[in-house]
Every structure is written in structure tokens, then in C-alpha cells.
Structure 1
Amino acid sequence: MMSRFDSYRAVDEAVGWIDRSSRSRLEISGPDAAKFLHNLTTNDIKRLPQGRGCEAFVTSPQGKTLAYISVLARPDALLVRSDPDGLALALPHLRKYGVFDDVTLVDRTEDSREYHLAGPVCEAWLASVGGTAPEADDLAFVVTRVLGRDVLCIRESPTGRSGLTLIAFGSDASELGEALRSASSGPVEIDAETFEALRIEAGTPVFGREATESNLPQEIGRDDRAINFVKGCYLGQETVARLDALGHVNRIVKGLRFEPGAPCPPPGAVLEADGKRVGVVTSSAFSPGWKSCVGLGLVRVSHSAPGTTLAWVGAEDSTSYAATVCDLPSRPPLEAVPVAPLDGL
């Protein structure tokens, strides 16, 4: 069985892949599709050209986060993607406001499959099996054939490494995963725990962890990718604009590195400074690259400077462990990645 070390190193040196089919996929079609989604999200959907994509937040009337999404502008529809169950709050919201526009919403999660390739040679591998990669822009995409199947190929980097996502629909969907597994000289399959470490190092948020309905969009730290502050009115825009005028949020998602040998704190573990609560851990995983646990956390801005040492307390033994705040992304230098598997991996 492939070790976590092997799959982690493959993403730095070659190419790895992971099945992300549990993510949510929603198709929005109809003549009003772009206008409809534009009026309910933080980014400029109406100006999104075909073959391009963007990140966005679906916001409530109060400006709170209902979903963290990516939007792809296809010729006949918009494809909206989010994390597993990441549209649970947004879908009823979208259906409610969809009655005012000529749009059709179709959940494509069950009849499609999604696979992510990550690593410096992912594009070369794609070409070797007949596929064509999209242009270099983030979330640019093309329709191509991979291993004899029609797929949507999207350029994106949830691991912080060069990446391409393949999405297949219908009969091609059920066959693509097996084709990837059986491909000669194919990419290494990445286990879920290793992907989680890579995601955390990259600072890629997940809805339900870093982004929840209690968050304001700016707290997630994706302003440059997911929020257009000059697009005009949309539902929740007043709160987002007011916060932008104030100049800062009170808390923000930051990277965390934990001391070697310490356990990984569970999501929800409280972060403290001088005995006072200053944040909460949202995600954590063991990183083969850092040889310790890494995490993401929602931290008060007053304690968010890189290098700030915080503490969290283990639930089982009441031991206090150190957590160091770091900027994102937080990748270890390649030379720091071990050249042999670590014990226990």
C-alpha cells in the first residue's frame, strides 16, 4: 500500500490524483442564469467569459456566508461547485430567489465524478493520455478527452501545487476513476489524510470548517479571489461593503503549525493567549513535509501576526500544547521533505 510519504512527495515531484466526487455540483441554466447568480454572490458573474471561472461566496441578506463556491461559465450553463454538502444552505436560498428569474437549477452531484491531479508534471501526464490542458488562468477550463472519456478539465490548485481537475458526466463518469487507477505510468493515488495536509498548507478553505454561516466573507481571507467590491448591488452587499469601509475584520483564517510530537487538535479546539480565548482550530492534519501537525484556525486579528505563539489544551490529558501562527500558504521547502518514509506513515 502506498505510504502517506509517497503520495505527499509525488505531489511535489511528479503527479498525484484524488477522487473528489463527494463535492457538490450544481448546474444553473436559462437566459437569466448569469444575472441570477450575480445578484446572490460576492463576485462579478455577469462579466465572467465562457471558458473561465471564479470563486465567490453566496451571502444571506445579513451578509453572512451561506456557501463558498467556484463558478464555471460554460456555453449553455453555469457549473457551481462546492465542498461535500457545501450547498446545503445555499440551495434552498437559490431556489427561493430563482422564482424571479428564468433559470433552471439541476443538482449534478450524483451523475458526475470529479478527480483532481496535482504536481509539476500533471499537465505533461494529461498530454500523454491525449488530453488538452486549459490556459494558465486560475479556473480556466476546456472540454477534452482523457483516457477515451469526455471530461471538463479545470485549472485549479487546492493543494497549492500545479493542479488540474477532471469532471466527467453520465456514462463517462463511472469509468473515469477506474481508467485513472489502471493507467500505465499513471499518477499516484493520494489518500484523504495526505490531501487534507496539502489543503491546509495551501490555505484552501472548506465550507463547514473555515467558512460557516456564522462567518462574514472577509474573515475567510479570499477577498482577492472571491469578492468584487465594485460590482454593484447583490443580496448581502451592504454588510460586505460596510466591513470593507471599516478596513479590517476582527478575526481571520490563518495557518497554524504545531510542535513536533504533539497530537493534532480536533476542529473546535480553543486557541488561547495568556489564558484568554483568541481563536479556534478549524482543520488539522499531520504533514509529512513539516514532520508535525499543521492546521487552519479562525484567529483574532490582534493575535494573528506570523510567529505568534498560542496554546491549545488536549481534551484527554489537559496538556497544553503550542500553536504558532503562520502566513498562508505554508509549504515546507522541498529539501525539508523526507527522502524516506517517516515512522508510522
Structure 2
Amino acid sequence: MTTSGPEQDTDQTPDPDTAVPAHHGDPPAEQRAMARSAAVVDRGHRDVLAVTGEERLSWLHLLLTQHVSELPADTGTEALVLDAQGRVLHHMAVASTGDAVYLDTEPGDGAALLDYLTKMVFWSAVEPRDATGELAVLSVVGPEVPAVLEKAGLPLPPPPHGVAGLDGGGFVRRTPWPGRDAVDVVVPRDAKDTWWSALTAAGARAAGTIAFEALRVESRAPRLRRDTDERTIPHEVGWIGPAVHLTKGCYRGQETVARVANLGRPPRRQVLLLLDAGDEELPRTGDPVHRDGRAVGRVGTVVQHHELGPIALALLKRSVPVDAELTAGTEERVSPATVDPDSYEADPDSPPPGRVARERTGGGPGRRA
């Protein structure tokens, strides 16, 4: 058993998953189990925060990009924290259950997020705390997830974001990715091994992060700092909707979100690249994407998919056409690359609604963001 995948390890962007198993002996078979039956992955290295207090939802509503002030009990979602320019600083999965809201985020990101939340408490009746030592995340993926959970004695929350609390602490959260059916089983950390054994005994194959990441990339679900950089705004990577609510305000960076949605279009778009590396070394996260010798994008997560072969998420300039001939990588790891047309969302023929309104009222064409 190894702990890291070579295609996901660069000097510029260290592999964030070295603390948990990358595979359990056969990554392609583990991927196939996720796609065709069920597999369980240890994602216990994710940081978990808990927010308690009677004002927890209304307070978080002022800080996060998602509409959570009226989030029903036993419901989850995704959310972001942006800087003043609308660039993504934090991404988190959200679960409201019992008397707390839980936020789990990238490994190593929890301290900075908790620091920000703590500074924003002021006089609110809330208490954010680090719950990483209390809870650990196990992810179960595959079409046989319902049967696995039933055999393991766990509830199956409704899709797409239902949450069910567990006796003894923790919860099960339904997620819309990375596979056909997926849940996060968030359990007391000291009981993680017990729940792992129960899930594998119930029919889930033991799998590692290589398999999970391959299906995540196939589903085009971005990951902070793997598929984003310091300039990324939510519109570029498909977080509008899943993690950003366009009709709410009152959060940092909201002006940029609204301006780009209503008056312009984001300067880049996320696509799925199909790589033709042959036996050569694959590109790495952070490598450039070139067209005709000019840099037009950035490579995100690179994986070996059990059916598609080597693939990667990438951020490309919006002007790059879907049929462009590209190369991904640098130095000895350059690979011909093509955009998967199913991942390319063409711009509509009509301008954004805000720009139309401005022209109608004599305000002139909106500035392109």
C-alpha cells in the first residue's frame, strides 16, 4: 500500500493526501468498484470545524457565499469564503444537524478558516471550534451504496444533500459527486477503524484517494488549490449554484460575483483535458497549457482514469475554442491534449442579462470582467 500518486505530486503544489492511503493494491480495480458497485475511501485527513450557538445559521449566512440562514435541519450544501476581490480562499462541505453546523475542508485549511470565523464572531451567539480531533470523514461511492449502508446499519439520507445524524456522534451526508451515488460517513475519530471494518464487511471495497480523485476529475468537481489558483473566481470552476447563491448578498466578494454574473463572463473556464502522453511522464498540477506556443491555461488535477486513460482538469482562457490543439505540461512532461467537448460549455449567443439591461437604459455596454 502506498500513500501518494506520482501524477499528483509537484514541487509547486504538494500532494495534500499523503496522510491517507492512496490505494489498497489495485487502483484501477478500486475505480471500477466505485463506478460499478461500491468502495470506501479514508478521507480522515480533512479538517472539520463545528459551529454551535443559536445564531449559527444567520451568522454563517453573512460570511459564506451560500444561502444558509434558512438551511433546514439535516441538510447539507457547499460554500465558499472569498476575498474582497471575489477570489476563492476557502471551499467547504456544510452539514446542519443536531445543534451544530459542521464545515469540512481541505487538509491543512481548517486553521486559517477557523481564524477567520473566530475574528468575525463579535457579539454573535456562536462558537466556532476545531472538530478535526473529534470527527473523521469516510466516503462511500458507487451504485450499491444504499445496500452497503443498510447492511452496515447506517441511514441513507435523501439526495442531493440530505444529512442523517448518528447515535454516538457523527452523521451521514449525501453528496452529488464524485460518482453515481456517494455519501460521506462522518464518524467519531476514535471509531473510524470500527466503521471502516463495518463498511468493508457490508460490501464496500477498500479504496484509496487515487480512485476517488479519478472519479472526482471525471465528474469535473474542482478541488481548492489543485484546480484553482490565487486568481480563481467561483464562475470559472462551476461553483456558481453548488457553492454560491446568486440572489443573496452580504458577504465579502459579493460585488465581483454579481458583476461577473450580470455584466460579463469570467476570463477562464474549467474543462476536462484528454491527454495523449503515451509512455511519457504526465503533466503535473500547476503546469501550463499551451496553444501554438503561447500559454493559455493551467493544469489542475492529473489522474489515470480506468476507462478514459490520462485526464486532467484545466483552467483555460475563455477565448480557447473547444477544438484547439493543445499541449499540457513542461520540460520532459509535455503531452498533446484535447478538450473533452462534453466539458466545454459554450457561451450563449446573447450577452449577459445585466449587460442587456444597461444597454436598454442607455448605460452602454458593460465592462467585461
Tell whether the 8 Å contact from 2:140 to 2:183 is kept in structure 1 after alignment: yes
Answer yes or no: is 1:72 the counterpart of 2:95: yes
- Specify which of 256, 259, 277 is matched with residue 239 of structure 1: 256
Answer yes or no: is 1:41 the counterpart of 2:67: no
- Using the alignment, how far apart are the partners of 1:223 and 1:247 within structure 2? 14
Q: Per the alignment, in what secondary structure is the counterpart of residue 322 of structure 1?
A: strand
Q: Please identify, of 190-199 and 49-58, the stretch whose mean Cα deviation from structure 2 is larger.
A: 190-199
- Counterpart residue type for residue 290 of structure 2: E
Q: Per the alignment, in what secondary structure is the counterpart of residue 242 of structure 2?
A: helix
- Using the alignment, how far apart are the partners of 2:275 and 2:123 within structure 1? 49
- Using the alignment, how far apart are the partners of 2:340 and 2:288 within structure 1? 17
- Counterpart residue type for residue 288 of structure 1: H
- Using the alignment, how far apart are the partners of 2:116 and 2:197 within structure 1? 36
Q: Unaligned stretches of 5+ in structure 2? A: 1-23, 345-369
Alignment-derived partner of residue 91 in structure 1? 114
Alignment-derived partner of residue 325 in structure 1? 339
Would the alpha carbon gap of residues 314 and 211 (structure 1) be closer, same or farther in structure 2, given more than 3 Å must change?
closer
Alignment-derived partner of residue 336 in structure 1? none
Please list the CA deviations of residues 7-48 of structure 1 after superposition, one character each: whole Å capped at 9, or x if unmatched.
111112211110011111110111221122111111101021
Alignment-derived partner of residue 341 in structure 1? none
Give the % identical residues.
28
Alignment-derived partner of residue 41 in structure 2? 18
Answer yes or no: is 1:142 the counterpart of 2:160: no
Q: Per the alignment, in what secondary structure is the counterpart of residue 226 of structure 1?
A: coil
Alignment-derived partner of residue 163 in structure 1? 182
* Deviation of the 1:306 alpha carbon: 3.7
- Using the alignment, how far apart are the partners of 1:6 and 1:16 within structure 2? 10
- Counterpart residue type for residue 220 of structure 2: G
- Using the alignment, how far apart are the partners of 2:177 and 2:152 within structure 1? 23
- Using the alignment, how far apart are the partners of 1:144 and 1:247 within structure 2? 45
- Counterpart residue type for residue 267 of structure 1: T
Alignment-derived partner of residue 269 in structure 1? 287
Per the normalisation by structure 1, the TM-score is: 0.86
* Deviation of the 1:313 alpha carbon: 4.3
Please list the CA deviations of residues 295-343 of structure 1 after superposition, one character each: whole Å capped at 9, or x if unmatched.
011111111x444331124423xx742111125669xxxxxxxxxxxxx
- Specify which of 186, 197, 207 is matched with residue 224 of structure 2: 207
Would the alpha carbon gap of residues 99 and 19 (structure 1) be closer, same or farther in structure 2, given more than 3 Å must change?
same
Alignment-derived partner of residue 308 in structure 1? 324
Alignment-derived partner of residue 120 in structure 1? 143
Q: Per the alignment, in what secondary structure is the counterpart of residue 223 of structure 1?
A: coil
Would the alpha carbon gap of residues 205 and 49 (structure 1) be closer, same or farther in structure 2, given more than 3 Å must change?
same
- Using the alignment, how far apart are the partners of 1:170 and 1:286 within structure 2? 31
* Deviation of the 1:152 alpha carbon: 0.9
- Using the alignment, how far apart are the partners of 1:214 and 1:163 within structure 2? 30
Alignment-derived partner of residue 273 in structure 2? 256
Tell whether the 8 Å contact from 1:143 to 1:151 is kept in structure 2 after alignment: yes
Q: Please identify, of 280-289 and 256-265, the stretch whose mean Cα deviation from structure 2 is larger.
A: 256-265
Tell whether the 8 Å contact from 2:271 to 2:314 is kept in structure 1 after alignment: yes
Tell whether the 8 Å contact from 2:41 to 2:138 is kept in structure 1 after alignment: yes
- Using the alignment, how far apart are the partners of 1:101 and 1:110 within structure 2? 25
Would the alpha carbon gap of residues 150 and 27 (structure 1) be closer, same or farther in structure 2, given more than 3 Å must change?
closer
Tell whether the 8 Å contact from 2:82 to 2:88 is kept in structure 1 after alignment: yes
- Using the alignment, how far apart are the partners of 1:212 and 1:278 within structure 2? 14
Alignment-derived partner of residue 300 in structure 2? 282
- Using the alignment, how far apart are the partners of 2:97 and 2:296 within structure 1? 43
Q: Per the alignment, in what secondary structure is the counterpart of residue 53 of structure 1?
A: strand
Tell whether the 8 Å contact from 2:49 to 2:131 is kept in structure 1 after alignment: yes
- Counterpart residue type for residue 85 of structure 1: G
Q: Please identify, of 112-121 and 79-88, the stretch whose mean Cα deviation from structure 2 is larger.
A: 79-88
- Specify which of 216, 219, 241 is matched with residue 224 of structure 1: 241
RMSD of equivalent CA atoms: 2.2
* Deviation of the 1:277 alpha carbon: 0.8
Q: Unaligned stretches of 5+ in structure 1? A: 331-345
- Using the alignment, how far apart are the partners of 2:110 and 2:250 within structure 1? 22
Number of residue pairs matched by the alignment: 320
- Using the alignment, how far apart are the partners of 2:93 and 2:222 within structure 1? 12
- Using the alignment, how far apart are the partners of 2:334 and 2:27 within structure 1? 28
Tell whether the 8 Å contact from 1:111 to 1:173 is kept in structure 2 after alignment: no
- Counterpart residue type for residue 104 of structure 2: R
1:173-188 equivalences under 5 Å are 173-181=192-200, 183=201, 186-188=203-205
